[in-house]
Structure 1
Amino acid sequence: MSRLAEITAALPVPAATFLAWMEFQKGASEATVAAYAVDILEFETYLRGMGASLERPSEITRQMVQGFSASLFRQGMARSSMARKLSALRSLFRHLLRLHKIEADPCAGVRNPKQDQRHPAMLNVDQVFSLLDEKPAEAVAARPGDMSADDVFLLRDKALLELLYGSGLRISEALGLNVNDIRPESGHVQVMGKGSKERIVPLSDASKDALSRWLSVRDRVPPAHGERAAFLGRRGKRLDRRQAARILEGRAAEAGIPQHLSPHDLRHSFATHLLEGGADLRAVQELLGHSRISTTQRYTHLNMEALTRIYDAAHPLSRKSDKKS
């Protein structure tokens, strides 16, 4: 039994039915459904300590939701994690409201904790060049008959990082790709995004070269049980998030990049560099697979912050101390 199935089995029927609706009707990814399941089970555990349960959703009150939020705060939980858990509960109770299982939403009026202003790490162009250094991969590709296992995986790592930055994919999208989703010769990749929405994303010239090199040697990693994943781990199974994060961390260290990097930081850098280069906001929205333009607009806000800092540092009239009457 999978971890998701175990959690669902421990939940009352109204919650388990909601998760099934998310997966099969709404088309949410397994990772999203599993995250919601964990959050809802935590809420159910809290309710049982008070003699309540989602088995009787009409008895759940706003005070109970607020009490749950306060308990998370006392545990020292990150505000972003608290907000995610409350978001899961809002989705659950909106669903129950639509089904007329409850008469009022107990999450109504419950606010998220104020979030810390944190932005993803941003690479400058020189750092991107260092991270995606072409020389090692070119040297390996030049000796196809004398290639070690480490050489094969160097080509894999290069292809993955080029794809994350060059096409701005989410890490889940990149790792979810199968071999037949990637078409280097035609210059695009077919991606399954959030909400099971497909989109076609163009490949940079560097990505096309890197992917072609990797796919030409992929079969040297024996796939487990006919695994069709584009990116394989050393045991022939689909590469997972933790392995991808380690690949990026190792490459960043080799490139002398001081800040901690996550795969999402490459996507963030991709979008920011496009906008800084004059790309149309709607075009960037399409490339990123954002359903709302407001999500993409956050990158323009960050660009303005950067421009303001440059202005304040360089302009002779930007500081009061420099102004003279």
Structure 2
Amino acid sequence: MSTVEVATFVDEAEARFWDAVNRAYEFTDGLSNLKTREEYRGDLFGCRYPKHGCKHENPDRHNPLAFLPWCHRWGINPMSVTKAELKRWVAELASSGQASGTQARRVSAVSSFYDSLFADEIIDVNPTHRLRAKEKPKRRTPGTAGRALNDAQALALLDAAETDSGPRRMPERSALLIALMLCAGMRVSEAINLKIEGYLAEGDQGAQITYVAKGGKTITKAVDPYVDEKIRAWLAVRPATSQLPALQAGARTAKRTLLSTEGGQPLTRQTAYRLVRRLGEAAGIPGTLSPHDLRRTYASISIQEGVSIRALQLDMGHAKSETTEGYDRSHHRPENAPTFTVGRRLARVREERERLGSAFEEWAEESVELAEASVAVAAELWEDLDDD
């Protein structure tokens, strides 16, 4: 993009701009889910850190296409942005080469911010609603991205995790992380933020875990014996760390995350991603394996085994059933294609007919032999009668 002259604010315009920034911080601070707060800060401010808490040494790390920095660069008041200005921002997002899903997420974050302003009667209309559907970036169609492992790959990954060895590697932790995502369907953020106190060895339905899911929803689910076994195995070797100190007198001590580093610190998303990629390579799985591929595998296997979409939707914490259906990758497998299904059915029918035909021929042969024997006996009887 060519270099352009950046507009300069007068004091009043500058004040209006920073009023919008402060309102945006109030909006993001009010979001209950930490991951959502970080994503919205990144889309609105270009930095995921909270207000006055930026730790970036280089300001260039801030995203210049985030909505508020973009408005500041062009001298636009976010409180009175026009449709034409919004279309310019969307066009710059598209020309930057960002994926359509990322563009759609950024527009959605801005739209949510304006929805909050409209609900508080600060603005009269959400300006993003003026954009026609064809002008908004499209989110990817559910079920078109990512993959699910087949049975052999899933078992190979579990084996690789259980035998994860080498300097500073903990097979119990690797096995538990994979089990939580592949066998319990948790998101990577949910798995690494699961608290020790969220595990109950003997709940109403046996072993169970309670955690905060995407959107701030609290989910309690029973876990099968395999996952329970991996939790117990990890707790037996987990680095012992003291409870974090209370922030103030009378406050409860912070809960510890179940998964941790060698030093007892919470496991980061980056560490989890690297671990999954490394285990995928060790298991001989082609391509780059991501944590969300394990969640898709969990959903695909559940659907193939007859779990209802509604039950799976509640289990996975989805707001819409369409999202759950989009996780099913079983139709991507050749053996599940209609042509293979029809072929298998015809093969079974042919085999059944051949089996029945063979049985009929054997019966017919036995019947003929029996008839021949009967005729021979009858002939002998007639001969005996003639002699008499």
Band the TM-score falls in, shorter-chain normalisation: 0.7 to 0.9
1:39 equivalent in alignment to 2:65:
no
Maintained 8 Å contact 2:27/2:116: no
- Rg larger for: 2
Gaps of 5+ in 2: 1-16, 46-65, 246-254, 344-388
Gaps of 5+ in 1: 1-10, 141-147, 317-325
Matches for 1:1-325 after TM superposition, within 5 Å: 12-24=18-30, 26-27=31-32, 29-41=33-45, 42-54=66-78, 57=79, 59-110=80-131, 111-115=135-139, 118-133=144-159, 136=162, 150=168, 153-185=170-202, 186-219=206-239, 222=241, 225=244, 228-299=256-327, 302-304=329-331, 306=333, 310-312=337-339, 315=342
Across the aligned residues of Structure 1 and Structure 2, the Cα RMSD in angstroms comes to 2.7
The amino acid across from 1:50 in the alignment is: W
TM-score by length of 1: 0.80
CA distance in 2, matches of 1:250, 1:22: 35
Q: CA deviation at 1:200?
A: 0.7
Deviations 1:35-89 (A, max 9, x none): 21221122122222322233xx0x2111111100101112222211111110111
Maintained 8 Å contact 1:62/1:108: no
Query: Could you list the runs of 4 or more consecutive aligned residues of structure 1 that deviate by over 6 angstroms after TM superposition?
Result: none
CA distance in 1, matches of 2:162, 2:70: 53
* Gap change, CA 1:91 and 1:162, over 3 Å in 2: same
Any idea what SS the aligned residue of 2:337 has?
Answer: helix
The amino acid across from 1:270 in the alignment is: Y
CA distance in 1, matches of 2:160, 2:289: 20
TM-score by length of 2: 0.68
The amino acid across from 1:113 in the alignment is: P
CA distance in 2, matches of 1:188, 1:23: 31
Maintained 8 Å contact 1:15/1:92: no
Maintained 8 Å contact 1:224/1:235: no
Any idea what SS the aligned residue of 1:299 has?
Answer: coil
Percent sequence identity over aligned pairs = 24
CA distance in 2, matches of 1:199, 1:45: 37
The amino acid across from 2:93 in the alignment is: L
Q: CA deviation at 1:315?
A: 4.4
The amino acid across from 1:35 in the alignment is: E
The amino acid across from 2:35 in the alignment is: A
CA distance in 1, matches of 2:74, 2:161: 62
Q: CA deviation at 1:307?
A: 7.5
CA distance in 1, matches of 2:299, 2:233: 26
Maintained 8 Å contact 1:164/1:267: yes
Q: CA deviation at 1:187?
A: 1.4
CA distance in 2, matches of 1:177, 1:15: 33
Q: How many residues align?
A: 290
CA distance in 2, matches of 1:91, 1:135: 40
The amino acid across from 2:197 in the alignment is: N
Q: CA deviation at 1:179?
A: 0.9
